[in-house]
Structure 1
């Protein structure tokens, strides 16, 4: 499954080579591959490469969201092109139950970065335990730039006719995610494995 992020969050064409996101089956999970221009703006996060980094969305990242739109449970994966002495880049994996309601964060991730002068490639392995039950929708985003040059891009943007005056980019507008089915990738007979994380460590929905 191949996707290209060709628009800004509000539906305008991007002015560079689009970020490419690819999903493919792996034993016990999914391989998430990213190929993107390398802007080097803002500078790399100060955290240790290869480790989770809180608030990674404030830097240069590519993100993938996997949603069950009935329960509003979703997985958010953020990947950063930072590479230091051949080590892996920073990442951030969040589990959410309800819009913006993070109940598990900074999960470990197998993630490798290959950076070149003008672009970067990342390969991450997402175990089935990270995905909420019955993923039905998907979206992907890219962020780069500093201050007034900050750019927010979306695979499935907010339609321009629905924009409101003064509206800001918000990647948690789940209503704009598009239908997604792992059976397209793995065959009609395949069933998503149950996740111990989601079944055993259910978030407290009373808050």
Structure 2
């Protein structure tokens, strides 16, 4: 119903650059947190999210970016969050009815062996709340009265960081993942 959110991944110095270009819906209002800092519960606001999964271990990274400059980074294993509120170099700006954001996601945040991903965009309030997915759950598999669930890992699709970094690239080791 609107032009799509565009998420671009690029090689960065010490991590993966995630760029977001999106319409700015201005609904709901900005979260009360300070721009440039983590904000717990950011998923309740206007946000774009990317998830990076190791499908064998079920370990994954969730990165949430808000047009107002707040962010949220979560590390999850089997759906259980074991780290959140990690720092992120993230800048966002709003121009008229569009917003752009750029984040540098450090390599240490990624679980080893990322092989799948998904991305989401969320905006609106109340009955007008809209949830969009790069790889959505097929309509026939949505149960009656089922709410949004971004942690349905079986619907994530094939992804490799080597597609961005090059075939000879090796993911740096992380002190955050067991």
Using the size of structure 1 for normalisation, the TM-score is 0.84
**Structure 1 unaligned regions, length at least 5:** 1-14, 83-88, 203-207
* 1:104, distance to aligned residue in structure 2 (A): 0.4
**Separation in structure 1 between the aligned mates of residue 170 and residue 151 of structure 2, nearest angstrom:** 27
Q: Which residue of 2 aligns with 1:5?
A: none
Following the alignment from structure 2 to structure 1, what is the Cα–Cα distance between the partners of residues 141 and 42?
A: 28
Q: Deviations over 1:164-191 (max 9, x none)?
A: 2222211000000000011111221111
Q: Which runs of 5+ in 2 are unaligned?
A: none
Name the residue aligned to 1:98: 78
**C-alpha RMSD of the superposition:** 0.8
- 1:24 aligned residue: 10
**Match in the other structure for 1:166:** 145
Counterparts of 2:70 and 2:135, CA distance in 1: 25
Question: What is the number of equivalent residue pairs in this alignment?
Answer: 178
Paired position in structure 2 for 1:53: 39
Q: TM-score normalized by structure 2? A: 0.98
Secondary structure, counterpart of 1:181 in structure 2: coil
* Offset at residue 162 of structure 1 (A): 1.9
Alignment of 1:1-207 (within 5 A): 15-82=1-68, 89-99=69-79, 101-198=80-177, 202=178
